[in-house]
Amino acid sequence: MRTVGVEEELLLVDPETGEPRARSAAIIARAERESTDGHDVFEKELHDQMLEYASEPQSTMDGLSREILRCRKEAARYAGELGCAVAALATSPLPVSPAVGAGRRYQWMAEQYGIATQEQLVLGCHVHVSVESDEEGVAVIDRIRPWLSVLGALSANSPFWQGKDSGYSSYRSRVWQRWPSAGPTEVFGSAERYHQVVADMIDTGVILDQGMVYFDARLSRNFPTVEIRVSDVSLHADTPVLLANLARGLVETAAREWRAGVEPAPHSVSVLRLAAWQAARAGVTGELLHPVTMRPMPARAVVQALLDHVGEALEDHGDLDRARTGVAELLERGNGARVQRELMERTSSLRDVVLECVRRTQD
């Protein structure tokens, strides 16, 4: 069975005001001092108001759920010891002046990309699914391209930007597209072609290295995995488990299609960008573009199409019922964007929105 893991980026906020706080360096240093096994859960990110963790890879969804809860709990504990709290919000609802982290890499980015770097206080969830080889991984990337926008819609959790409603369910994804290497990709056809494209991109000098290749799905440079990077960080801890479940289903389904000689869908990058935009705008309300036809359909029907597409693989893993239940619960409750807007409608206070999201993150 393919293993799966997640990386989540959490927003550090003041527990009284809800305003972002630049404390990640202190939290990471404290966690490293207290580590007993030499394994560092937390990682630095571009801005000091962000705290990222990487889960251990798991073969079961129960194991992944426990791992996510453990990591979120540790993040909340360390943040609390230093006078702040963590919130699983993909953008800060309250106005913020992001602080770019120290270090040569981040300073290079600040100089290279200007205001786009300053405005990248956005927080995502990356799902890693194991693959047997780069060849299999690239075949998977080629075949999952049309379905990634649906994961983006399910995870959408960033309706507010600098104190205002953005009009989007996932404004994070729109901000993320400002990076020159971000977004959907062409069909590569082979691992050799994939690596050549990446090398050509680095040789332009516009990006620094392989780590700045921000494809929607890419080969991990550190692990034998496909890394799916389209999702907002999710407010409720059960959502990244659902996303990982669906992502593993997509990877397994795509690998089976590759072995059976099924060609990737020929959708252009231009159309895939439109599908991603529509998902960011609508979330799971209104309409999405159907991954097969690229024509608008009700969001619930498109989500059901995703479940149907990966159903056989999920059933073989014993995960189909869990995925169906998770999707039904998310559609009933709403994604993070809907929850945030409902909180705002009820309280008329972005501060209260943030503090309630802190509570839900740490529950």
The pLDDT, as a whole number, for residue 38 is 59
What is the tens place of the pLDDT at every residue in 23-75? 999 999 999 888 776 567 898 899 999 999 999 999 999 999 999 999 999 99
Helix crossing, 238-259 with 148-155: angle to 10°?
Answer: 180
CA angle 173-174-179, nearest 5°?
90
User: Could you tell me the pLDDT band of residue 160, with boundaries at 50, 70 and 90?
Assistant: very high
Residues in the chain: 363
Mean per-residue pLDDT, 109-119: 94
Helix crossing, 299-317 with 238-259: angle to 10°?
Answer: 70
Mean per-residue pLDDT, 195-212: 97
Q: Domains of the chain (ranges plus CATH)?
A: 4-362 (3.30.590.20)
Please state, for a pLDDT cut of 90, what percent of the chain lies above it: 94
What is the tens place of the pLDDT at every residue in 285-329? 999 999 999 999 999 999 999 999 999 999 999 999 999 999 999
What is the tens place of the pLDDT at every residue in 85-102? 999 999 999 999 999 988
What is the tens place of the pLDDT at every residue in 253-295? 999 999 999 999 999 999 999 999 999 999 999 999 999 999 9
Reply yes or no on whether the pLDDT at 6 is more than 70: yes
Distances (CA, A) of 10 to 136, 162, 227, 362: 32, 17, 19, 11
Say how far apart CA 135 and CA 258 lie, in whole Å.
10
pTM of the model: 0.96
